[in-house]
Amino acid sequence: MSEKTGLVAVTSRSFSTHPLLRQQLQKEYINVKFNESNEQLTGEKLVNFLQGAEKAIIGLELIDEILLAKLPDLKVICKMGTGIDKIDFKALNQYNVAFTHTPGVNKRSVSELVLALVFTLLRHLPAINANVKKDKWRQLRGTTLTGKVVGIIGFGAIGRDLAELLKGFNCQCLIYDVIEHNNLPPHVTQINLEKLLMNSDIVTLHVPLTLNNYHFIDKPQLSKMKKGSILINTARGGLINEEALYEFLQHNYLQAAALDVFETEPKVPLKLLQLDNFFATSHIAGSTEEAILAMGLQAIEGLKVATIPKIENYA
């Protein structure tokens, strides 16, 4: 089948509902189908949707050996977004399926949400909003972001962008990363994880989820965090042990936490939601008009340049 006539299936809901992205993809390919269900496809629904497709643009769907075994026509997958924890690269290699994704394109969208979450917690906005709606005029005293020490775990595109934004608030940024970084800005210092946790007023996660860092933040790490500090996660849910986080929030060791991602999305632990010092959003860090358009356009280009993945690059 030719490049132009082979079926391209789009499971990503944000792409499927974006008029400009739909139009652009249909300019490039004749035979296109979009996910019109407004739900994330799983199991047989996902298999049926992708059946017969040569290329696919996906979102948060699980791509594994079981799925690929049922899709002999599928040759190219492009994932919108950064996270690749739901992609089985051994299976892609086994079935000779090319792959690419769009890392870093949504960095400003994610960085801005981190700041929004930080301000929300520092200024007690949920409690204040609830009080005003109940006709209770209580002026809860918050704290400023200016001059705070912010620990950034992971210094890729998003971590670097966040540090640049924090410069404007005169924040000192402590970073932890598996890669040693040179020529860092004056307000950024690379240190080990323990020192970062002990000295940061705010800790924010910006690393991919892998088999090696599941529950990267657990009881030992939480106990090392500065008492009264804040924890933010807009990366991947499995990075934090949510049971352990609950304990540290319940006993007010941490001032507060805000999570945009959870281990078993879309389910959020009810215990966490019942805490006044916990704030949740629904995996929206990359969900801005600008980020979705940029990721979608890059995904379209990715369909042309995807390659068979080398497993060692994604270990």
Catalytic hit among 13, 108, 124, 283: 283
Q: Which amino acid is at 261?
A: V
Tell me how far apart the alpha carbons of residues 229 and 256 are, in angstroms, rounded to a whole number.
7
Q: Which of 153, 75, 70, 142 is nearest to 114 (CA)?
A: 153
Question: Which residue is catalytic, options 65, 194, 265, 289?
Answer: 265
Residues 14/59, Cβ–Cβ less than 8 Å: yes
**Tokens, residue 209:** 């989820």
Does 265 qualify as catalytic in the annotation? yes
Structure tokens at 16: 């499927």
Query: Is 187 an active-site residue?
Result: no
Catalytic, out of 61, 124, 236, 242 = 236
User: Is 236 one of the catalytic residues?
Assistant: yes
Cβ atoms < 10 Å from Cβ of 85: 16
Separation CA 22–CA 41 (nearest Å): 19
Structural contact between residues 128 and 266, judged by C-beta atoms closer than 8 angstroms? no
Q: d(Cα 245, Cα 254) in Å, to the nearest integer? A: 9
234 burial via Cβ count (<10 Å: 0-12, 13-18, 19+): buried
Quote the tokens at residue 49. 């949707």
C-alpha to C-alpha distances, 54 to 1, 35, 60, 147, nearest whole angstrom:
9, 16, 19, 52
The residue to which tokens 């919108």 are assigned: 80
Tokens of 262: 């959870």
CB atoms within 10 A of CB 223: 12
Task: Name the token pair of 54.
Answer: 């040569």
Residue 10's SS3 state is strand
Catalytic residue numbers read 236, 265, 283
